[in-house]
Amino acid sequence: MSKIKIYLIVFVIFFVAFYLRVMFLSQGALTFGYDQARDAFTASEILKGDIKIQGPPSSTPGLFHGVLYYYLLAPLYGLGHGSPIIAAYGTSALNAATVFIIFLFGLKATKNIWVGVLAATLFAFSFEATQYATWLSNPTTAIFTVPLTYLGLWMWINFKHKWAPILTALGLGLSIQAEIFLGYHIIPVAIWLFASRKEITKKQLAVFFTTLIFTLSTMILSEIKFGFKSLGGLQSLFTGGETNLAYAKSIGDYFVLYLNQVGRIFAFNSYPGNIGYGGGLVIVLAIYSLIKKDKVGTFLATWLFAHLSVVTIGGTSTPFLMVGIGPAVSVILAYFLVKWWESGYKFITILVFLILVYGNLSFIFRENPKGATLFAIQKDLVLSKELLLVDYTYQKSDSEAFSLNSLTSPLWINITWTYLYKWYGESKYGYIPQWHGRDQVGQIDSLPKFDGKTRKAFLILEPMGGIPAQYLDNTQEEENGFSKFVSEQNWGELRVQEREIYAVKK
């Protein structure tokens, strides 16, 4: 087959992948909560010339991800005049572009075009990959950068390609920028470089480490500027945060946890319809490769199981800790499907391929209209429902001034609604509401304070996922001392109460 036809096939796969990732975006099927609003405001500050070197905070206090994600978002939000939808189209394009890396890896690793084509196709239909594509959060870029790491590493240890150390370092450094805990990929890289140490030159290692330091330079500068706050975070991370030994996890707990995690991630990239079958299939293929000492399969197994090194030190319940491992699932499945085909099991190969595609497509059509359901704690906090709520408040106010209060996650931080009212509400209706809730001093941005003149008010109640139940009653009791309940409207678990103010808030 000519190179032109091959390139054409891969580009078709890219466009199919992109379409599958964005086909529900125009309907507002986009998870948009605190993290997304915070990052959108930060991106807007960068557009105004406010240079940033510190990235989003991690789940471990003191540790921060890299700032790269903000600089990816900034031009996307600028292009879309603040629209999260346009930003999600941009992240989806980057996500879909991973098909080129996967194709190249499959081709280079096996010298078989069809392994590359099939791996790219399976990734295009991956349910997990489509979820990451429109999830406006810093880990999403690692879908592209982690495979780049392993492509560079394979080319380095097998072909001695002069650009391979740079590709490996770029992929690894940019992955750590995306999600600081992805530093665990250093271990598989180190293992393969050690195994190939007789053929690795000092010059190659110098190029690798120089490039790695360059890609991590903003994180290093951030540490210097802010007084090495990560040291406290690392201490907490490596001690596991176990303050009560009676409840400390045992090694068996971590073993079960790890199997459950990899099983789910493997399934969401193979056959999400059944976690046991989908996850078990990939685990069996990886272990089989290790037992048979199949070089390609063994290499993929170190990629697939890389997360093992950090399962005991934090992030034990965060699925995005394994971001970038999904593409390896596509490659190992393609590798064995082509093997089965070449061994004469053509009917079984076709049947398994169709089952895998069907399983992923069914979940894409079932889950993606609801946003990033794999990652969202507040399931109904999606843009389509949020904008309906914003419209509702303006319509109920009859184009007159009104004020807001909200129950949010995190508690008492109104940044999500501040962003939505300033980006969407003001552009559509010409004004923004006032704020009569808890003091927003110190927040990135806020609505103007209640001036005591308006009488129409609304209480926004976000979905209760992540919000302690007692705060629902507490918030409504506080609001009852300020305004009178009129009616309530809901969009799933997202609710808003229309109220009439009968006392001036002090």
The predicted pLDDT at position 60 comes to 81
Q: Which of 490, 495, 398, 401 is nearest to 450 (CA)?
A: 401
CA angle 133, 134, 138 (to 5 degrees): 80
The predicted pLDDT at position 257 comes to 81
Buried b (16+ CB within 10 A) or exposed e, 241-259: eeeeeeeeeeeeeeeeebe
Spatial neighbors of 437 by CB under 8 A, at least 6 apart, are 404, 405, 406, 412, 414
The predicted pLDDT at position 232 comes to 77
Query: Cis peptide leading into 410, omega within 30 of 0?
Result: yes
Q: Which of 19, 15, 270, 261 is nearest to 130 (CA)?
A: 19
Angle in degrees, 0-180, between the axes of helices 251-268 and 326-342, rounded to the nearest 10: 70
Q: Does the CA dihedral 174-178-181-185 come out positive or negative?
A: negative
The predicted pLDDT at position 253 comes to 76
Q: In this structure, what token pair is assigned to residue 498?
A: 């229309």
Q: Where do the structural domains in the chain lie, given as residue ranges?
A: 3-231+262-370, 383-501
Whole-structure pTM value = 0.93
Phi and psi at residue 404, in whole multiples of 5°? -125, 155
The predicted pLDDT at position 245 comes to 46
Mean pLDDT by 10 residues, the chain (506 residues): 88 98 97 96 95 90 92 97 97 98 97 96 98 96 98 94 95 96 95 94 96 96 87 69 53 79 92 92 94 94 90 64 94 97 96 97 97 93 98 95 96 96 97 95 92 94 94 95 95 97 66
- Per DSSP, the residues of 356-406 read HHHHHHHHHHHHGGG--TTT-SSTT-BHHHHHHHHHHHHHHTTTS--EEEE
